[in-house]
Amino acid sequence: MVNTAVDLCGIRLSNPVIAASGTFGYGEDFARLYDLNCLGSFSFKGTTREPREGNRTPRIADCPAGMLNAVGLQNPGIDKVISEELPKIASFFKKPVMANVSGFSVDEYVAICEALDSQPQVGWVEVNISCPNVHGGGMAFGTSCAGAAEVTRAVRKVTTKPLIVKLSPNVTDITEVARACEGEGADGLSLINTLLGMRLDLKTRRPVLRNTTGGLSGPAVFPVALRMVYQVYETVGIPLVGIGGISSARDVLEMMLAGATAVQVGSANLVSPFACPDIIAALPGVMAEYGIKDLNDIIGGAHAWERM
């Protein structure tokens, strides 16, 4: 018997697999296919104060070993999320859910987090300061220590929920931003969001995406995400959620060895809607293969050799 349970910022997860925001909506479509309670949790779609239709199409492009997206935070707005989506989630998901919050100003982040603080279904607030697909918000805060600190400090004052800040890889040194967030009261960090990229259409000689650029995700970004989790683990003392190209139980173990307490699975859900339950089902067998009895024993385990 192996133990897959972990503790993320004071909340127990039966396993470390969390479906990532941006690929899982509010869970309803996936709940028609399988019991979502097998998940550790899921992070619902990035939510803004006002409804957003997102960017104009085309906003998805294929890439070798991944994909580009420039969806642009399409969502119904915080009022409808609270009045309609959260009650639906409560009907099919009996565990705490992660609320992904996006904004275009500090005041917007504060208003959304304050509204979510009283919602019993919400376990963690995941503040996204790293979306590369909108203009004037998101990544504008996450690419500077001052901006990241400002948002974290303001949100910390209005929420009693565990606060997880989602970091951008599109920076010179992600460890500096991580330290800034920790210093202003973040309980944990999610990393990484997508890498900025683009594709060109050889026939039209124009960008494939209407937004010109988009966020690269999928297996291609896994080594980058792994490196950044490894670096940030050595810099901060708060739990990390590893994100980026995870598509197998072995990827989960590798990310946890780098320093992640839990992981999020994103693009793999678009390849197969059963990606998360398949990874969870395979996890005990792969743990046994590598002689791992308790996942908690391997968190940050790859760093031990440096102290030998």
* Three-state secondary-structure class, residue 236: coil
Among candidate residues 9, 38, 113, 131, the one labeled active-site is 131
Which of 203, 199, 193, 195 is CA-nearest to residue 212? 199
DSSP state of 82: I
Which letter, b or e, does each residue of 264-276 get, where b requires 16 or more Cβ atoms within 10 Å of its Cβ? bbbbbbbeebebb
* 38 is an active site residue: no
The tokens of 109 are what? 């982040």
The number of beta carbons lying within 10 Å of the beta carbon of residue 285 is: 10
Which of 210, 211, 214 is CA-nearest to residue 193? 214
**Residue 179 is which amino acid?**
R
Torsion of CA 259, 263, 268, 269, to 10 degrees: 180
CA distance 133 to 77: 17
19: left (phi over 0), alpha (psi -120 to 50) or beta: beta
**Residue 116 is which amino acid?**
L
Which of 5, 55, 8 is CA-nearest to residue 238? 8
* Three-state secondary-structure class, residue 133: coil
Which of 51, 54, 44 is CA-nearest to residue 20? 44
**Residue 218 is which amino acid?**
G
- Residues forming the active site: 131
